[in-house]
Chains A and B, each alone.
Chain A
């Protein structure tokens, strides 16, 4: 594993994440958000979960980011940044970060051996989805349908 590649991906992802969170211009932030997900997908590739990485790119970069952009366009009148920034959130976020890092460093029982990439095949995933996880899959299907209908109902015009 190329640790240089790892470092690059990590910095790339975090920079775009910060940009997505703090950029005052909505559209830029949304685009940074999409790019950040590419970084995360790269992590997934690195960790031997290629399928998930691809799904991540399809779903987030392809679908969610587009949805967000559409929403920004639809609410354009409000999209100009005249909203302030709350510094209290920064304090809390940093606090949580410190707490998490402290907990991670404190935990001794983490497996320390360097990781061995063992890629998972799509076939394996498909078999598992259709055998062991068939019930959750059904539930997710129902959930997605319900979300679809719910989203439609929410945005439907009230006027007849």
Chain B
């Protein structure tokens, strides 16, 4: 039991191999069983985790390739735990979204293992290995199992993220040659005094920023996202938005911010400008989309923009009190979790509509409230959660982020609030054309939620309510980490 994290990473891989070798009749069920197992392990991890203590816990350290500074180090702090839990929630959710072939199931499981690895690795080589390991299944899933236009989307996705990764790898090689270590903790210690000097540091900084910005994505590196999310099968879109995009945010928190505190202070206003552009332009573009998946995809960009707004607002300039730093960080962490759950749920609902009608075009629907009231009701909950209605999970994260960012970047925050408004406009418009009005032609025969669909939706929605009403249980996982990080920020 000592190697809990390694087990957690291995379970999905074993599942993938079992699926590939065993050729079971219903691969989805087998995958779900393995998901259940990893969910159980994730819970066990949570139980073992000492929420009161800051710093890494449950560390496993083994020698790997000492000559290049690579080491097998995994460990979790509050943030890693949160993301591990999120991954464990989103994957079963994604698997239950639709029927998937054996290959797709095993690829998804490989991706799950890669995500667990990414969120727990504490050495750059290991981290990068897992980071790239998640890219390949994503590419294949889009390319092989995607819908219309999948080749274009897959290649675009791959080129974008791969170029970003290459930039990041080069930057890290530069750091390694200068400092001789890949260990996150050691690098963070070095970062306080300035990791590099001269012009080189800007190249290294830009390389890492680019690699992570593509992954999140930040405006204007986001154009791969709508195509990829639109084309991918529902379950894959859920995973992409729910967990894969979090790797970028996680990278920003874990790598860029501790390693380059001085550089961020100089580049901060520019980064914040880009972030605010994501927050404002993405929902505006979403408003124009007729394809529901594209719409949700664009709104994802907006929501992840809030995370980065909070993060860079407090790192670009120092706020006056610890409350702002802690508020922003807590908000960012919570928003990561919330967006993972909510965006996945939205894709799930779009998938349900697609299963019923075969279309995702918003104009093909209308008056659904009359034939599928339950579907509409539960879907509205997710939409309201996404637009930040109080009482649901989205609000608290956004409030804390804005609270933190207002202290140092009031102007940016004020502009970002426009993003909140346009998100609402987009969703309300979508609700109007989907749910109300006269029953559209061809919508009459849709069946309402099935029992198995309810089994999926109800727990997720309850989670949204739980976080919205009493978020303490989520905060408990990362409060110590937040306090420690806030102190490290100075």
**A touches B (Cβ under 8 A):** no
